[in-house]
Amino acid sequence: MKALFWLTIALFLLALFFAVSKLKNQSEEKLNPPVAEGEEPSPTLIPQPVSLSVFPDTLLQGEFARITIAGLVLISTIKSLTLDGKPLAVFVDEDTVGALVGIDLHRKPGSYLITLTLLDDRKIEKKIEVKQRTMATTEFDIPEQLGGNTPQAEHALTSTLANDKAIIDPVTSFVGKEKLWNGPFQLPLGGTPIITDVYGYSRETGSVTLSHNGTDFRAAVGTPVYAMNSGTVALAQTLRNYGHTVIIDHGLGLMTMYMHLSESNVRPGDSVEKGDSIARSGNTGYSLGPHLHLSVRIDGFSIDPMKFLELMGSK
């Protein structure tokens, strides 16, 4: 009788174990239903701990920040990423999901909200602080090749700058859907280039005031100029004030611009790789001596190239 008693208890416990296991499996299937072979699981059914970080989160006018999104299983779980309501392009770079945000040199200082919205309508928000940049002003001559310091040359400078801008702005405002760069960016000149003029100050030429929206490097006429990263040539053209200019589209609204060149060896539509020779430096356009002017634009905004290289260049 004692043996029968213990056998009954054992059978009862075994039946209870199988019943609990079945209930557990049914519960898991509801949360995570089976997926057909080759099909991605729906990312909205299993909430993941997602975090949003911005570096730096305090920056000056004309600088940029890099956004990192951690905890995503699939990039398709993102519904939108915005800065102050304006969409930002999201990409994957070396297994990291992120985005770039450029701050216009003339953007009003203050707090701006970055909002990540997921497909399940969860929202994650971060603020960035934009500080006032101290912008020096210096007098600048009109080059003799553009007429010198005369009222006529001043007038021509004003009108033709608008023409050059009408050509460049539509090119640099394009936001492609594909990331074209790969890994860190490099300087556009060989060796250790010497900076001769910095980003973010104003040049006064008579009644005309111009912001210097790039970095100038010392470069004798004919010095090889290299692509800072892979991309597609968006423009290779001689402009009245910027001289011979090459613009490379690196995808997702990120562009590098090389100006005052003597010549280029690329054409619009060409694909280039990081380190490819694309041009030779010169002294064309509004230039007082041989040099290379480098500009970087994100979503159409010119940002400080050297600050860009601090975050996106080789360490």
pLDDT tens sequence across 9-57: 555 555 555 554 544 444 334 333 343 444 444 444 445 689 999 999 9
pLDDT tens sequence across 124-134: 999 999 999 98
Percent of the chain past pLDDT 70, that is, above it, reads 84
pLDDT tens sequence across 46-94: 456 899 999 999 999 999 999 999 988 778 889 999 999 999 999 988 7
CB 253 within 8 A of CB 176: yes
pLDDT at 202 over 70: yes
Looking at every residue in the chain, the average pLDDT score rounds to 86
Which pLDDT score is estimated for 253? 95
CA distance 216 to 197: 5
Domain boundaries, the chain: 1-33, 51-131, 137-312
Which pLDDT score is estimated for 89? 93
pLDDT tens sequence across 141-162: 888 888 888 888 888 888 898 8
Which pLDDT score is estimated for 17? 52
Confidence of residue 6 (pLDDT cuts 50, 70, 90): low
Among candidates 257, 251, 200, 205, which has minimal Cα distance to 230? Answer: 251
CB 235 within 8 A of CB 168: yes
Which pLDDT score is estimated for 24? 44
Average pLDDT over residues 210-237: 96
Looking up tokens 């003029």, which residue turns up? 197
Q: Please tell me whether the overall predicted TM-score, pTM, comes out greater than 0.85 for this model.
A: no
- Report the top-level CATH class of 137-312: mainly beta
DSSP 166: H
CB 196 within 8 A of CB 214: no
In CATH, the number for domain 51-131 is 2.60.40.10
Which pLDDT score is estimated for 3? 54
Quote the longest CA-to-CA distance of the chain: 120
